[in-house]
Amino acid sequence: MKRRVESLLRRAIESAHAAGELSTATLPEGSVEVPRERQHGDVACNAAMALARPERKAPRAIAEILLRRIEDPGGWIRETEIAGPGFLNVRLSPRFWHEEAAALREDPALGVRPIGQGRFVQVEFVSANPTGPLTVGHGRNAVLGDTLARLLEGTWHRVEREYYFNNAGRQMKVLAASVRARYLELLGRPFEFPEDGYQGDYIRDVARGLVERHGEGLVDHQGNAFRDAAEEAIFADIRTTQDRLGVRFDRYFNEDSLYESGAIERVLERLAEQGLSEKRDGAIWLRGERVGLEKDRVLVKSSGEPAYRLPDVAYHLDKLARGYDAIVDVLGADHIDEHREVVAAISALGHDVAPIRPVIYQFVTLTRFGEQVKMSTRRAEYVTLDELLDEVGPDAARFFFLVRKSDSHLEFDLELAKKRTADNPVFYVQYAHARIFNLFAQAEAAGAVAAAPHAGADAFAPLVEEEEIDLVRQLSGYGEVVELAARELEPHRLVFWLQELAANLHRFYNRHRVLGDEDPARVGARLALLDLVRRTIAAGLGLLGVSAPERM
């Protein structure tokens, strides 16, 4: 919709320039917007104010020139006005909306443009080490990353999903020691549980499997059997949980490979050669002032153990070398500073860091009846993602994880997520889709006229009611909201938009009869409009990874 009105205004400026009324020949970028308040019209243009200084004219005088120069052969414009200091407000005619509905109906992409143009984007997300089951916090990460990948694919980007993990290092040693202790405990042997060992039944499950397979054969074992068994079992659980949530990956990248390939050593050498690091107190430090940071940061501890930021620098250099056009890192809020340090080090080494785009998410609080809750038992310190899915299901989990902007704290209302009422936002949107399916089933059973044939704008001409035009107006914004959500990496925009569309659909449905109308043309037009709403809801939910049920 906005793009079609832009074309009229663009031609108006070109016409004014050709007539010598304006020295500017192009419409200022971003000067046409859909106003939040309906009283400001369907489309508003602030070009007159943007051009006031270069044109040396009052904004209202420029707006008057544009108004005179607008040519509207299609009868799209119902009314125009100059408001305030020079805003040009445009209200569109029913004919415009009928053409818009017809165009959307013929467009398989529903107005979404191929803004990605095949650009290659990597999305790295979840990236939990195989030391325990996925938590609710991991769930927000997983849904956010997967939905970003879907949005990018839906706008014609080429996407690779990557999971980065470490199956070595201290965490895995502690995990192995935890399993070994439980293994000995199950055998009735003396054992010493690590002070910071991993708790929870999943450790006992791994140990129990080792007892069943090996009996007492591992009592004196000094190899990697305990670590390998834990990694295999936990990663299997992680993948099963991801499958339940509809999340997949194209590549799994092991942090340990950075050590095996010598990438870590090369990073240290390059930092030292360029004077960006120094040895001090037995440790190796990144020199903060040299890389644009306020403080020095440890790269290698005095114990010889690398700090997290060191392999992350090597990992991102590996990513950059693969030739992605953009690299999206989905990170918890506790990683903000570390990620900034990694990017600073990479930039100081002479690499272009513009492709690296962090998406930060805040953590999740589970509530029930307004009170914060912990759900059960599998791990005393956190709630597993599987427990959440068991209670509310994948559709509600995905929708609720996306219902707030990622950098906002999320309160996940468990009872609301299970309700089958309009209070539950995912039910509200899914019910709109199912409601249309039910209507079409009734139409078929009653032998009512089918959706109007593909006959262009005339097929929608009977649609003149406010609620009908409101639906078309909303549908016309689908392409733009999907593009914006993909461009800004903000899937919550689509979630909000779908809730608004569902509200408009329910408002229309509650005020107007469809099958009972005496005018067959109006019945056909309304069925065609509702079929377009159904397609759009299904497409939008698909980008969120949420199902679009036919019955509820």
User: Which pLDDT tens digit goes with each residue over 232-265?
Assistant: 999 999 999 999 999 999 999 999 999 999 999 9
300 forms beta bridges with 284, 306
- Other Cβ atoms within 10 Å of 90 Cβ, number: 25
- Would the pLDDT of 452 be above 60? no
pLDDT given for residue 454 in this prediction: 59
Crossing angle between the packed helical segments 520-544 and 492-511, to the nearest 10 degrees: 160
CB 403 within 8 A of CB 425: yes
- Would the pLDDT of 448 be above 70? no
Indicate the pLDDT class of residue 185, thresholds 50, 70 and 90.
very high
- Cα gap 298→283, rounded to integer Å: 7
Reference 156, options 114, 120, 122; nearest CA is: 114
The residue written with tokens 């999907």 in the block is 482
CB 495 within 8 A of CB 544: yes
List C-alpha distances in Å: 75 to 69, 78, 96, 467.
15, 8, 7, 21
CATH says 120-165+249-361 is which class?
Answer: alpha beta
CB 364 within 8 A of CB 412: yes
User: Which residues make Cβ contacts (< 8 Å) with residue 91, sequence separation at least 6?
Assistant: 41, 42, 77, 78, 79, 80
- Cα gap 15→31, rounded to integer Å: 18
Q: What is the DSSP string of 291-320?
A: HT-SS-EEEE-TTSPBPTHHHHHHHHHHHH
- Would the pLDDT of 231 be above 90? yes
pLDDT given for residue 455 in this prediction: 65
In the chain, where are the structural domains located? 2-92, 120-165+249-361, 169-245, 425-544
* Yes or no: domain 2-92 corresponds to CATH 3.30.1360.70: yes
- Other Cβ atoms within 10 Å of 216 Cβ, number: 12
Mean pLDDT across 50-74: 93
Considering the domain 425-544 in this protein, what is its CATH number?
1.10.730.10
User: Which pLDDT tens digit goes with each residue over 285-318?
Assistant: 999 999 999 999 999 999 999 999 999 999 999 9
- Cα gap 276→288, rounded to integer Å: 8
Mean pLDDT across 419-425: 95
Mean pLDDT across 113-141: 95
- Cα gap 292→286, rounded to integer Å: 11
Indicate the pLDDT class of residue 450, thresholds 50, 70 and 90.
low
Q: What mean pLDDT value characterizes the chain?
A: 93
User: Which residues make Cβ contacts (< 8 Å) with residue 518, sequence separation at least 6?
Assistant: none
pLDDT given for residue 379 in this prediction: 45
Reference 285, options 265, 299, 266; nearest CA is: 299
